[in-house]
Structure 1
Amino acid sequence: MNLKDFKWAIVTGGSSGIGREFVLELSRRKLNVIATGRDEKRLKQLADEVKEKFKTQVHTFVVDLSSPQKVKRFIEEVSSFEIDLLVNNAGFGLYGEFVKLDSEEIENMIEVNVKALTVLSHHFAKQMVQRRRGGIINVSSIAGYMPLAYFNAYSATKAYVYYLSLALWAELKKYNVHVLCVAPGPTRTRFFERAFKDQSFRTFGKLMDPKQVAFGAIEAFEKRKPIYIPAFKNRLISFAAKKLLPDRLLARFTAG
């Protein structure tokens, strides 16, 4: 699928990390981008960088995707744009024993990782189907390939994204709408700081560069691949989790 035929893209969670790199890479490829995020200052800096480097259009929206009302308002605010590509990148994780996690934070995570992604996908997919052109990139995680103790609810949300994406890939291809599921491993973003909060943590080996993840994902999208897992190590982990190891064993192993 050639992105040269696309004019406008939406990237959620675009103010930092993988989302920011999606905005930059799509702009480099001459798409106009609507970027959402929670950090107004970072969004403005990103917009200034895009305009200076690529001379493309970029609009930024500060949106709290944990609020269904604000998601609905955002959809209304961009109704005048013909969206060719939706990148559902926004998401966050929580680490800890399930019974000790804050229930409101769990609900917010499900709103962002699952509900907002689903609502946005449903809304824009309908428009793409009518035009017989478009695409959706959903950012999942290799955590979605296995039952991760202490990343319990988070890994469950990413499993949802994985299975929804594959189902939509199969359903929408007849309308010339391509859906890609991106499942990165540990990446150099602010994910760990938010997931662990005040808890001490160590990163899991060498972290991936978010620029590499975004670039590889866009390349995979153009090749119409249904799944993109960056790095051989992560592909090996996902293969073992899906094909070799029973879920019960994985859950017990990650629980320590």
Structure 2
Amino acid sequence: MRQEFRTALVTGASSGIGEAFAALLAARGTDLVLVARRDDLLDRLAETLARRHRVAVRVLAADLTDPDGLARVAEALRREPVDLLVNNAGYGAFGAFAEIPLEDQFRQIDLNVRAVVRLAHAALPGMLERGRGGVLNVASMSAFTPSPGSATYAATKAYVTSFSESLHAEVQGKGVHVTALCPGFTRTDETAGPNLIWLRRADVARAGLEAVAAGRALCVPGNQYKMVLPALRLAPRSLLRVAVNRAWQQAADTKIGD
């Protein structure tokens, strides 16, 4: 059954795909709680959306890698339940694993995994009690392939995808939808249109919202990535590792040459 969402909390809402989620939801008449670190950006976005779409928009500035900040957002979800939770906030540190500081590795895990789990755990009990609601977790196409140069990031997104599909099965038939959104390369601004590689953030956000409303477990936006996914799942892992490692090495050599 397709759902409409009257209220939503969006993390990482101040820019990129998160801002697109907020704009699309506001245009549909959804009241919002916007979460990100930068309260100045959130305030401007909230003012614009409230004025343009006549919806209620509340700002909750928090760093989700900080235990206190994450706890405040989780408590807000329990205290004022929403129909839709969009776990969009994410972080990637790119480069050879051994050369990236351990703190950056843990920050990716804290934001991409721990925050997703904590907020879903805060939101789902109320949704199940009411018999309606949705959780949209933003993962990545990198969840389906080895990713040298972004090993920890890809592993966190694989976790989010598996976690989301498992929760989807757990809550099926209870009026609650859980969806993993797995975009490929996505432009964080709207300066250029889509092409064979790059997706527009608004298209990605729209696809995710349609998927969770329809109760689909997995959403891969863009026809080009939809066609690639079956090949990634069927290809021998040894061949995938060779292919992606070659691409990584070429990228690294190009960077050194620059």
When normalised by structure 1's length, the TM-score is 0.89
Instruction: Kindly tell me the number of residue pairs found equivalent between the two proteins.
Output: 241
Q: Summarize the Cα distance change of 1:108–1:11 in structure 2 as closer, same or farther, 3 Å threshold.
A: same
Indicate the residue corresponding to 2:224 in structure 1: 233
Pairing of 1:45-194 with structure 2 (within 5 A): 45-189=44-188
Most deviating of 103-112 and 181-190: 181-190
Indicate conservation of the 8 Å contact 2:196/2:224, yes or no.
no
2:11 counterpart of 1:21: no
What is the Cα-based RMSD across aligned positions, in Å?
1.6
Distance of 1:20 and 1:114 partners within structure 2 = 21
Distance of 2:213 and 2:103 partners within structure 1 = 38
Instruction: Report how far residue 185 of structure 1 moved.
Output: 0.4
Task: Report the 3-state secondary structure (helix = DSSP H, G, I; strand = E; otherwise coil) of the residue aligned with 2:199.
Answer: coil
Distance of 2:160 and 2:74 partners within structure 1 = 20
2:210 counterpart of 1:219: yes
Deviations 1:20-67 (A, max 9, x none): 111111111111111111222221121011111100001111111111
Indicate conservation of the 8 Å contact 2:78/2:126, yes or no.
no
Q: Summarize the Cα distance change of 1:78–1:125 in structure 2 as closer, same or farther, 3 Å threshold.
A: closer
Partner AA of 2:240 in structure 1: L
Distance of 1:133 and 1:126 partners within structure 2 = 11
Segments of 5+ residues of structure 1 without an aligned counterpart are 191-203
Most deviating of 224-233 and 155-164: 224-233
Partner AA of 1:249 in structure 2: L
Instruction: Report how far residue 78 of structure 1 moved.
Output: 4.7
Distance of 1:64 and 1:129 partners within structure 2 = 27
Deviations 1:87-109 (A, max 9, x none): 00010111111111110011011
Segments of 5+ residues of structure 2 without an aligned counterpart are 190-194, 247-258
Task: Report the 3-state secondary structure (helix = DSSP H, G, I; strand = E; otherwise coil) of the residue aligned with 2:79.
Answer: coil
2:37 counterpart of 1:38: yes
Deviations 1:169-222 (A, max 9, x none): 0001132111111100000128xxxxxxxxxxxxx9642110111112112222
Distance of 2:93 and 2:216 partners within structure 1 = 29
Indicate the residue corresponding to 1:247 in structure 2: 237
Distance of 1:181 and 1:76 partners within structure 2 = 23
Task: Report the 3-state secondary structure (helix = DSSP H, G, I; strand = E; otherwise coil) of the residue aligned with 2:137.
Answer: strand
Deviations 1:147-172 (A, max 9, x none): 11111111100000110010000001
Indicate conservation of the 8 Å contact 1:8/1:81, yes or no.
no
Task: Report the 3-state secondary structure (helix = DSSP H, G, I; strand = E; otherwise coil) of the residue aligned with 1:179.
Answer: strand
Identity %: 33
Indicate the residue corresponding to 1:196 in structure 2: none
Instruction: Report how far residue 75 of structure 1 moved.
Output: 2.1
Partner AA of 2:28 in structure 1: R
Instruction: Report how far residue 2 of structure 1 moved.
Output: 4.2
Distance of 2:160 and 2:132 partners within structure 1 = 22
